[in-house]
Chain A
Amino acid sequence: MKQTQEPAYRVLTGPEGLLPPAAAIMGIHLPEDGEGLVEGRIVPEEKAMEAAAIAMLTRKNPTLFPGPLMLWGWNEHTIEKSAPFFEVAREIPGVRIIPMPDYRPIYPKIDPEAVINPCHPNLTIWHNKIEACVFIGVHCHFANITLKMIRAGTNCYTIALCAEAGHEDAMASVPQFTAEKLKNFAETLKRVKKNGIKPLYEGQGIIPSGWAQIAGLTGVEAVKPEEEMVEAGFAHDLEKGLDENEE
């Protein structure tokens, strides 16, 4: 259903309260292809990209959260996005990349520098003092629950670049986000900088966070021998955590 009148509700940077409503229930409608959402209002796509670019350049500790669809290369569409994803990263000085490789709960604790987990996304946001972030390649259900929890308890400006219909619970969202649109987002970042937006972390590259980042992006020796990392893997950490915290 097309949005016929301006909804009273706005999707603003939090913290909004203990349990904010889902924006869709409050009358926020998803945009069509070529449009975007900014704080619950439908705007042209380039306006949404611009708002997202400004937030990522000017707010503290901007972070990219690539989800499983980016990380695991499940299909052609996700694979073709990986190159422009790094183009975007390069245009945001001081950006971190913290992946969401999985939706499994990680207890007793996550390593907030290594991952963000949908069961307690606020921990990653709080620990790293993230005030702007991009979700990309996260399945819509998990993106939405995560975005709601972030809005509830943090002051993070959330951006959802969605391959499907978009996300009402993000402060900025663009639907049908193709590799082409990802390239456009990199161009938008360049343009807003050229137009006078001074990045908060001018001169800094991608800031490593977590052992995966250190190993992969900066060329620094991995904190563990590589074979041990492969052998241990993600499940190993999970099992250890569960055992330690057995009730």
Chain B
Amino acid sequence: MKKLCLAALAVAGLSSGLAQTVVKLQGFGGNDTAIMSSLVREVVNPALEKDGIRAEYQGIEGDYKAALLNALAAGTAGDLFYVDIFWSEPVFASGKVEPLDAYFSKQELGVFVPSLLNAFSFKGKIYGLPKDFNTLALQFNKDLFDEAGVKYPNQADTWETFKAKLQQVQSKLKDVAGMCVVADFARFGAFAYATGWKPFNAQGKTVLDANFKRAFEFYTSLVKDGAGKYAQDLGEGWTGGCFGSEKAAVAIEGNWIGGFLKDKAPNMKFGTTFLPLDPVTKQRGNFIYTVSWSMNAASKNKQAAAKVLRALASPEAQNWILSRGLALPSRSALAGSPVFQRADKYGELSRVVFNGSTRQGGNVLPFKFGSYDGGDWMRPINEALQAVITGKKSVDQAIADAQTELNKLVK
């Protein structure tokens, strides 16, 4: 009996010596699971070993937003989790997310790109640290343009000159579309922003005005005027899919297309430039897509979670991600990273996407829609694009219908 007691004491002593605070991280599944698990293992956990803290990443496959909302409501969400800017505000407003101002000093927060940090502030408080970000850029297949004998798109192109180039490619190369056009605000919106149009006016209402219509007419005319084909008719769901399989000569995507092209078309010679300019305003438009690391207000390990958060957003972690060409850093200081100066096609892609968030990007707005669910807000516009591209409605009719739907939503 005595021996048994001693053994039990020894086990208890051993386990208390090994006691570690485990911080649960939740984010997207797919590629992110492999990437984040490596980052946590190689960068975050070694840095926190002395504090007795260990982070564990759990990727959620399928509908991440539904899973997170469920977990938050049920009290089973991780200590730290991704919040997509696209649907961030209703989540921050719910009180389920811990404001970070108490855990980070002004100085610590000041190192992030201001527009990114602002994207995650709500009622004067910071609810998340930007993990990384992306903007849109124009990728073009050099071989296809050479074969068609057409000049490459460049940053001086306006909508008209850009469209003319695509028309030439499409008419010279019979089985290649200039661009595959998606009926999606996530691409079309950049053109609408170029005109100076904003999703919400000063009264907080969405008005599809003359500027919106001008961009709408240009975007849908790409299909009508033989400069592009509707993505679904080519059997693709995104412009990168058409581009990677050489069904289209250009794509409008962010840095994420780099990894896809490395797998799908490693030998493709492609270049990257900025989106074309609105011929009237001489501006271009762009989106900032970003995801934050946010803290669960119901977490039992808030102090430990803050330490993990600091490690996840550290220069080491962001350099690790950047050097693997995965995403762009949210720290201003990393803008001068040698990765952006690389002369190869992926270096150019990262550089243009990074600069898309600066003044060169023109009218850049974060991909967020205030207190509205982004999906609900975009749906009427996406359906209007689809109806016009497939020839089911006139531009005026489609915009009028979308306005009616938006009026019901945006009170």
Q: Do A and B come from one complex?
A: no
Footprint of A on B, CB under 8 Å? none
Footprint of B on A, CB under 8 Å? none
